[in-house]
Chains A and B, each alone.
Chain A
Amino acid sequence: MEFSYDIAGGDFSRAGAASSEVKKILKQLNVELAVIKRVVVALYEAEVNVVAHAADGVMQVTLDSASIEVVIRDRGPGIPDIALAMQEGYSTASPRVREMGFGAGMGLPNIKRNCDSLDIESTVGVGTTVRMVTFFNR
Chain B
Amino acid sequence: MDDFYHALKVSPDACTGCTHCMTACPTRAIRVRHRLATIDAAACVDCGMCLKTCARRAIFVEQDDFNRIFQFSHRVILLPTVVFGQFGGEVSEERIFAELHAMGFTRVVETDRAAGILAAAMRDYMARNPHRRPFISAFCPAVVRLIQVRFPSLIPHVIPLKQALDLSAIYARRELELAGVPGNEIGVFYVTPCAAKIAAIKSPVGEEVSPVDGVINMDFIYNKVQVGLTRHRDQPLPPAPDQEFLSPESIAWTLSGGEAAAFEGRCLAIDEIHNVIDILEKIENEEIPGIDFVELRACDHSCAGGALTTNNRFLTLERLRARARANDGRRREAPEGIRQHDAFLRERAPLPGKIFPRPIERLDEDMTVALEKMQKINRIMEVVPGVDCGACGAPSCRELARDVVLGKAKLDQCIFMRQALLREGLMTPAEAIEMAERTWGKGRFGENK
In contact, B367 and A24 (Cβ under 8 angstroms): no
In contact, A16 and B367 (Cβ under 8 angstroms): no
In contact, A31 and B367 (Cβ under 8 angstroms): yes
Report chain A residues within 8 Å CB of B279. none
Bound-complex Cα distance A34 to B284 (A): 11
Report chain A residues within 8 Å CB of B287. 16, 44
Report chain A residues within 8 Å CB of B152. 33
Q: Does A49 contact B (CB under 8 A)?
A: no
State the 3 A-B residue pairs at the shortest beta-carbon distance, nearest first.
Answer: A30-B362, A33-B153, A27-B361
In contact, A29 and B285 (Cβ under 8 angstroms): no
Please name the residue on chain B nearest to A110 by beta carbon: B286
Interface residues contributed by chain A, number (CB under 8 Å): 25
Interface residues contributed by chain B, number (CB under 8 Å): 25
- 13 of the cross-chain contacts (CB-CB < 8 Å) are A16-B282, A20-B285, A28-B362, A28-B374, A29-B362, A29-B367, A30-B365, A30-B370, A31-B367, A40-B285, A63-B371, A64-B371, A136-B367
Min CB gap B99→A, angstroms:
49
Mark B338-373 against chain A: 1 for CB-CB distance below 8 A, else 0.
000000000000000000010101111111101100
Q: Does B40 contact A (CB under 8 A)?
A: no
Report chain B residues within 8 Å CB of A30. 359, 362-367, 370
- Residue from the list B153, B288, B289, B370 in contact with A36, Cβ < 8 A: B153
A residues lining the B interface (CB < 8 Å): 1, 16, 19-20, 23-25, 27-31, 33-34, 36-37, 40-41, 44, 63-65, 101, 104, 136
| Known A1-B375, A34-B153: A65·B367 in contact at CB below 8 Å | yes
Q: Does B281 contact A (CB under 8 A)?
A: yes
In contact, A44 and B286 (Cβ under 8 angstroms): yes
Known: A33-B153, A44-B287. 14 other contacts (CB 8 A): A16-B287, A20-B285, A27-B361, A28-B361, A29-B371, A30-B359, A30-B364, A30-B365, A30-B366, A30-B367, A30-B370, A33-B152, A65-B371, A136-B367
| Known A23-B284, A44-B285: A29·B153 in contact at CB below 8 Å | no
Report chain B residues within 8 Å CB of A44. 285-287
Please name the residue on chain A nearest to B156 by beta carbon: A33
Please name the residue on chain B nearest to A30 by beta carbon: B362
Mark B137-175 against chain A: 1 for CB-CB distance below 8 A, else 0.
000000000000000110000000000000000000000
| Interface Cβ pair total, 8 Å cutoff | 61
Among B285, B365, B370, chain A packs the most CB atoms within 10 A around the CB of B285
Min CB gap A128→B, angstroms:
21
Per DSSP, are chain A's interface residues mostly helix, strand or loop, or mixed? helix
Bound-complex Cα distance A20 to B357 (A): 20
Min CB gap B76→A, angstroms:
41
Please name the residue on chain A nearest to B364 by beta carbon: A30
Bound-complex Cα distance A101 to B290 (A): 11
Please name the residue on chain A nearest to B155 by beta carbon: A33
Please name the residue on chain A nearest to B365 by beta carbon: A30
Please name the residue on chain A nearest to B374 by beta carbon: A28
Report chain A residues within 8 Å CB of B370. 28-30
Report chain A residues within 8 Å CB of B363. 28-30
Bound-complex Cα distance A64 to B367 (A): 9
Min CB gap B393→A, angstroms:
21
Report chain A residues within 8 Å CB of B357. 33
Bound-complex Cα distance A34 to B370 (A): 18
Please name the residue on chain B nearest to A27 by beta carbon: B361
In contact, B285 and A16 (Cβ under 8 angstroms): yes
Bound-complex Cα distance A29 to B378 (A): 14
In contact, B362 and A27 (Cβ under 8 angstroms): yes
In contact, B368 and A65 (Cβ under 8 angstroms): yes
Min CB gap B29→A, angstroms:
16
Please name the residue on chain B nearest to A64 by beta carbon: B371
Bound-complex Cα distance A28 to B368 (A): 12
B290-310 residues with Cβ-Cβ distance < 8 A to A are none
Report chain B residues within 8 Å CB of A65. 367-368, 371
In contact, B367 and A41 (Cβ under 8 angstroms): no
Min CB gap B439→A, angstroms:
25
Among B282, B361, B368, B378, chain A packs the most CB atoms within 10 A around the CB of B361
B13-70 residues with Cβ-Cβ distance < 8 A to A are none
| Known A20-B285, A41-B285: A25·B374 in contact at CB below 8 Å | yes
In contact, B285 and A1 (Cβ under 8 angstroms): no
Report chain B residues within 8 Å CB of A36. 153
Bound-complex Cα distance A24 to B357 (A): 16
- Residue from the list A1, A33, A101 in contact with B371, Cβ < 8 A: A1
Min CB gap B399→A, angstroms:
12
| Known A19-B285, A20-B281, A28-B374: A37·B362 in contact at CB below 8 Å | no
